[in-house]
Structure 1
Amino acid sequence: MRNGQNIRAWIEFDGPQFEINVTIAPVAVSKPSRPLISYSNPKIANYVSTEMYVGFSASKTNWVEAQRILAWSLSDTGVAADINTTNLPVFLPETTSSSLSAGAIAGIAIACVVFLLICLSGGYWFWRKTKIEEEDEIEDWELEYWPHRFSYGELKQATDGFSKNDLLGQGGFGRVYRGTLPNNTQVAVKCVNHDSKQGLREFMAEISSMGRLQHINLVQMRGWCRKGNELMLVYDFMPNGSLNRWIFDNPKTLLGWEGRRRVLADVAEGLNYLHHGWDKVVIHRDIKSSNILLDSEMRGRLGDFGLAKLYEHGAAPNTTRVVGTLGYLAPELATVTAPTVASDVYSFGVVVLEVACGRRPIETWAAEEEQVLIDWVREKYLDGRVCEAADKRIAGQYVAEEMERVLKLGLACCHPDPQHRPTMNEVVAVLVGDEAAAAPAAVLSELAQAGESVGCSGGDTNAEESPLQSTV
């Protein structure tokens, strides 16, 4: 088959006997009496029909082999007509000389050297072009927004080439890596992808404004880097991770009540700064326990501003896209897509209940009437047993009146009517303020009246409703 000579093949199918015979011989040899391959099986009937197409197919493995059909004859009734092979061409394999002249060898060597130099030059040019695109090309509009720019090389080196070992987490908005800058400062690098440069520009305009936010209870943004349509945001690294890791899923070290109360106060102050303490209103839109990070001193900081929006004080939000996390979304967002500071307050109220009760907003393992945290705590409140909702794992670490006040505050923040929710100023007053001085007297009076009528140890559920109770 491989000598280059023409080969003739006879392929015969006997329908009644379900038999296929294949006979092969060189062109100059007549048909042998014994077929090379003979196969008989009744199952052949499953693969033929009364009308069929006849043709040729070929395949090859790891080598290249040229095969040509020079002539063929077909008959569906009896023996096919014989083929005249006298004038068929013969394609013999080409022969090559094993010896090369000195000139030929020298020419091949020179050609190889020239080819190698061309490849090296092309590789160097491509490397320089990529380096310029990744690190040195800064468009004017970028510096208009935020001058503190890291090079891609700096962040790649800081994260060990964006190694999986340095991956802190990932979500819908991108991946977060831990990195170490040349001055040994640890940072978190968040990689955010955008589909277009225009969308990236708009996103960067908002992020740049948020980068100028300065508050001890917000995760500080240190700078940025752009590579194509990917934006890398550099934040302060929070060594103790997110709040949810210290409360849920049987943590190695459970965060106690004092630590939880302090974190809630920290986050409340940070959120109050976003709503009322800056020259613009910042609506976070994704407040949840996994976005609350803990620094080296276990103080809470609000992070992840990937969904945040900026508005002028007194201006109406104009976004038409509902974003956030199930379980933390305010109910009004089901019909009114524009978020408000009140929708942030609702999400914070869910976090308050999470921290106090040690339960997630939705627990599928619980009984049907206990799956939704807000409904479960509200039922406890209406039954005069609100403190029964407190996390049993920290029993004995808190004063009952303080736990009661925090649980009621969480319910007040989660009121279905946004007009009846407290502002973050009032929330901070309850969590941080001194009852004798710092906290507004009206808020504390409401809390005191609510505590007298419905408390942890029971009480008169038919007492006259206080202003705070009407908002629970």
Structure 2
Amino acid sequence: MGNQENSNSKIEFVVLTVVGVLALLLVGLVLLWRSKRKLFVERLVDSNSGLTVFSNTQIKKATRNFLEKLGEGGFGCVFKGTLPGSSMVAVKMLKDLGQGEKQFRAEVQTIGMLQHINLVRLFGFCAEGSKRLLVYEYMENGSLSSHLFSKSSVKLIWELRYSIALGTARGLAYLHEECKDCIIHCDIKPDNVLLDADLCPKVADFGMAKLLCRDFSRALTTMRGAIGYLAPEWISGLPITHKSDVYIYGMMLLEIISGRRNVEKIKEGKFTYFPIFAAVKVNEGDVMCLTGYRLEGDADVEQLSRACRIACWCIQDAEDHRPMMGHVVRMLEGVMDVEVPPIPRSLLNFVGMEDCTPSTDLYSL
């Protein structure tokens, strides 16, 4: 009996020792995890803008070393990331801006204070060494471009297109007219209009003009050809104003209506450039033919006519003839009348001879 009791005691001692060691290891692992998480969570917050200041290491962890690329544009690449608590974010890695950390921080602070339901929210940034990273809210449904021009995406019905056009206009109107300093986007296009889980449109990259400063005009012109979106004054080398944004918005509105990119050639009788074709049809009052093939004419005629007229007013040659974005919002809301606009003459200067041939007829309409 004595030997058996002694054996049982030894077994109990071994078991308790193993359990104790495992418990200590578990506690140690928990403490280690919490300390690492604390290091990650306790980020500096900029007192002026409320933006989180991330380190490059923190962002590399959040993006799993920039593993999943969401897209790439003229200003850098965007990667998907996850913050502690499973918050999804989009991290934009900017190309070399050639500016100091102090200037970058000051300009990001300005952008961080801008908040509107139709602007993508900026959560924070990283300015470590030569790294310049921006951390935005993650938009579940990607860009408007991916839905407008992709045959495999879910069809955007007319009501949704009109809502997206209105929301985008509200975001731009806020930047132009409601901020302390007028902010010109300069690059509004379907690729820079993002859609959240409810397909609410949010304007992205609205601070790039400020961040890129003098190099912005050169970068944008290099990135894109003349006739895609750029206003005549931009192509002519004149100063850029908020009315240049209005022109670009008008071009994008034509794309929302038609579901085709303006730079693509078309075969519509004697026309090869869609904006001219659209302007003529708006002048003639025949707007149903402007809807994209995916809509198949399924659009509210009054709204469609209104949107087409607004688009053509936005792309007028003279800046003074274009409406303010606030007026665009009210016209889309139906609280302001929209007259039939004249056909912009400058469009003919940047297209092939096929569209230039009937110019006499166009000007006589």
**TM > 0.5 between the two?**
yes
Letter in structure 2 aligned against 1:148: T
| SS of equivalent residue, structure 1 residue 206 | helix
Tell me by how many angstroms 1:152 deviates. 1.9
2:57 counterpart residue number = 153
Matching residue of 1:172: 74
Give 1:167 deviation, angstroms. Answer: 0.6
Match of 2:255 among 348, 354, 357: 354
RMSD, aligned CA: 3.0
Who is 1:271 aligned against?
A: 172
1:287 matched to 2:208? The reply is: no
Secondary structure of the corresponding residue to residue 249 of structure 2: helix
CA contact 1:319–1:338 (8 Å) conserved in 2: no
Q: Is the 8 A contact 1:245 1:251 kept in 2?
A: no
The alpha-carbon distance between structure 1 residues 147 and 309, as it changes in their structure 2 partners (threshold 3 A), is closer
Q: How many residues align?
A: 296
What's the offset of the Cα at 1:389? 1.3
Residue identity in the other structure for 1:411: C
Larger radius of gyration, structure 1 or 2? Answer: 1
Q: Distance in 2 between matches of 1:369 and 1:408?
A: 22
Q: Cα–Cα, structure 1 residues 339 and 220, in superposed 2: closer, same or farther, change >3 Å?
A: same
Q: Report whether the alignment pairs 1:406 with 2:310.
A: no
Higher RCO structure (Cα 8 Å, ≥6 apart) = 2
Judge conservation of contact 2:49–2:113 (CA < 8 Å) in 1: no
User: Structure 1 residue 151: deviation in Å?
Assistant: 2.0
Q: Partner residue of 1:237?
A: 138
8 Å CA contact retained: 2:51, 2:122: no
Kept in 1, the 8 Å contact 2:233–2:239? The answer is: no
Task: Report deviation, 1:387.
Answer: 2.8
Matched position secondary structure for 1:231: strand
Query: How far is the alpha carbon of 1:390 from its aligned partner?
Result: 1.7
Instruction: Summarize the Cα distance change of 1:241–1:382 in structure 2 as closer, same or farther, 3 Å threshold.
Output: same
Structure 1 length-normalised TM: 0.57
Q: 1:192 aligns with which of 82, 90, 94?
A: 94
Shift of 1:251: 2.9
C-alpha deviation, 1:154, in angstroms: 1.8
Paired amino acid for 1:388: C
**2:61 is matched by which residue type in structure 1?**
Q
**For 2:325 and 2:97, how far apart are their aligned partners in 1?**
36
Match runs of 1:191-230 below 5 Å: 191-194=93-96, 196-198=98-100, 201-230=102-131
- Amino acid in structure 2 at the alignment position of 1:376: F
**Residue type matched to 1:187 in 2?**
V
Query: Counterpart of 1:321?
Result: 217
Larger proportion of helix: 2
Q: Partner of 1:456 in structure 2? A: none
- The offset of 1:379, in angstroms, is 2.2
* CA-to-aligned-CA distance 1:389-431 (integer Å, 9 cap, x gap): 1223213532212111111111111111111001111110022
Q: Which amino acid aligns with 1:172?
A: G
Contact preservation (8 Å) 1:167, 1:175: yes
CA distance 1:426–1:147, shift in 2 (3 Å): closer
Structure 1's consecutive aligned runs of 4 or more residues displaced over 4 angstroms after TM superposition are: 142-147, 317-320, 365-369
Q: What stretches of structure 1 of length at least 5 have no aligned partner?
A: 1-134, 311-316, 452-469
Partner amino acid, structure 1, of 2:89:
V
Equivalence map 1:453-464=2 (5 Å): none
Note closer, same or farther for the CA distance 1:370–1:228 as it changes in structure 2 (3 Å cut).
Answer: farther
> In structure 1, what residue type is equivalent to 2:117?
I
Give the match for residue 372 of structure 1: 273
Unpaired stretches in structure 2, ≥5 consecutive residues: 1-39, 342-362
User: TM-score scaled by structure 2?
Assistant: 0.73
Rounded to whole Å, the distance in 1 between the matches of 2:179 and 2:106 is: 17
Aligned mates of 2:112, 2:89 — CA distance in 1? 15
